[in-house]
Amino acid sequence: MNVGENLSRIKKEISESIKLVAVSKTKPDEMVMDAYHAGHRRFGENKVQDLIARQPNLPQNIHWHFIGHLQTNKVKYLAPFVSMIESVDRLKVLKEINKQAAKVDRVIPCLLQFHIAEEETKFGLDMAEAKALLESEAYANMKNIRLEGVMGMATFTEDEERIRREFKLLRNIFRELKVTYFAEEEAFNEISMGMSGDYKIAIEEGSTMVRIGSLIFGEREYH
Ligand SMILES: *Cc1c(COP(=O)(O)O)cnc(C)c1O
């Protein structure tokens, strides 16, 4: 497994304007450092415990994206350093991010995670919930978060048409939110979709940010 070579192969395939989040979950710090030495700076983790255990031991100029389900009582551990929280799936967690970010005098970039998969098991908002969040007084008063776009995960399936349909749905959600709520805000630009198995389809459907783990670091032992 040559992490540097894997990274450069993927980077050659995708346009420079697409952000690559290297998902290092379950992989040793040494592999993160291999990617770091190859010039990579943007990494993703999906468990708060794992991220806060490794972050102090790794270079401080790494941009950490949190991509997993987030419990409100753990937000405080991420607030001092996290570069982006991609998995905001309810108002309550956004409120807590805003509160903890204020304590450390930061503005934390966030994405709204949408439930786009036809399977039931994935987390995320639907359009009605997102609208309620964006129209709430609580959201209007938040000064320490900045919504920069949307995130979603397609169904884990071989059925490419189904994956494509789910990514199209996320792109349409993004467009509708952009014109309705963020027309004046330049920062609302990201569509985070695409993983090792489906990033090519995601890019064809308008992804601006892909989150890739196993193609860079090898298969994981567990999920
Ligand atoms: C694990 C994970 C990824 C990366 O998965 P791979 O299939 O290994 O590329 C992307 N996004 C999220 C939210 C994840 O949890």
Cβ neighbours of residue 54 under 8 Å, at least 6 residues apart? 29, 32, 45
pLDDT in tens, 125-170: 999 999 999 999 999 999 999 999 999 999 999 999 999 999 999 9
Spatial distance between the Cα atoms of 34 and 37, rounded to a whole number of angstroms = 5
From the alpha carbon of 87, which atom of ligand 1 is closest?
13
223 pLDDT above the threshold of 60: no
DSSP state of 142: -
Is the CB of 113 within 6 Å of ligand 1?
no
pLDDT in tens, 164-194: 999 999 999 999 999 999 999 889 999 999 9
Most ligand 1 atoms within 8 A of CB, residue of 14, 19, 24, 46 to mutate: 46
Within 10 Å of residue 71's Cβ, how many Cβ atoms?
10
DSSP state of 219: -
Cβ neighbours of residue 47 under 8 Å, at least 6 residues apart? 25, 68
Q: What are the phi and psi torsion angles at 3 (to 5°)?
A: -60, -45
Is the CB of 65 within 6 Å of ligand 1?
no
Is the CB of 211 within 6 Å of ligand 1?
yes
**Token pair in block for residue 128:** 């009605």
Q: Smallest Cα–Cα separation from 181: which of 173, 193, 170? A: 173
Counts of helices then strands in the chain (DSSP H, E): 10, 8
- Mean pLDDT of all residues in 91-114: 98
Which pLDDT value is given to residue 50?
Answer: 98
pLDDT in tens, 24-65: 999 999 999 999 999 999 999 999 999 999 999 999 999 999
Do the Cβ atoms of 207 and 20 come closer than 8 Å?
no
From the alpha carbon of 214, which atom of ligand 1 is closest?
8
Spatial distance between the Cα atoms of 137 and 112, rounded to a whole number of angstroms = 17
* Helix runs in 38-136, H state only: 48-54, 75-78, 91-103, 127-134
Is the CB of 195 within 6 Å of ligand 1?
yes
Which pLDDT value is given to residue 48?
Answer: 98
pLDDT in tens, 190-218: 999 999 999 999 999 999 999 999 999 99
- Proportion of the chain above pLDDT 70, given as a percent: 98
- CA of residue 213 to ligand 1 center, whole Å: 6
Is the CB of 122 within 6 Å of ligand 1?
no
Most ligand 1 atoms within 8 A of CB, residue of 6, 23, 84, 123 to mutate: 23
Spatial distance between the Cα atoms of 59 and 201, rounded to a whole number of angstroms = 33
Most ligand 1 atoms within 8 A of CB, residue of 42, 66, 67, 155 to mutate: 67
Q: Tell me, yes or no, if the pTM score tops 0.95.
A: yes
**pLDDT-derived band at 222, boundaries 50, 70, 90:** low
Is the CB of 196 within 6 Å of ligand 1?
yes
Nearest alpha carbon, ligand 1 atom 7:
196
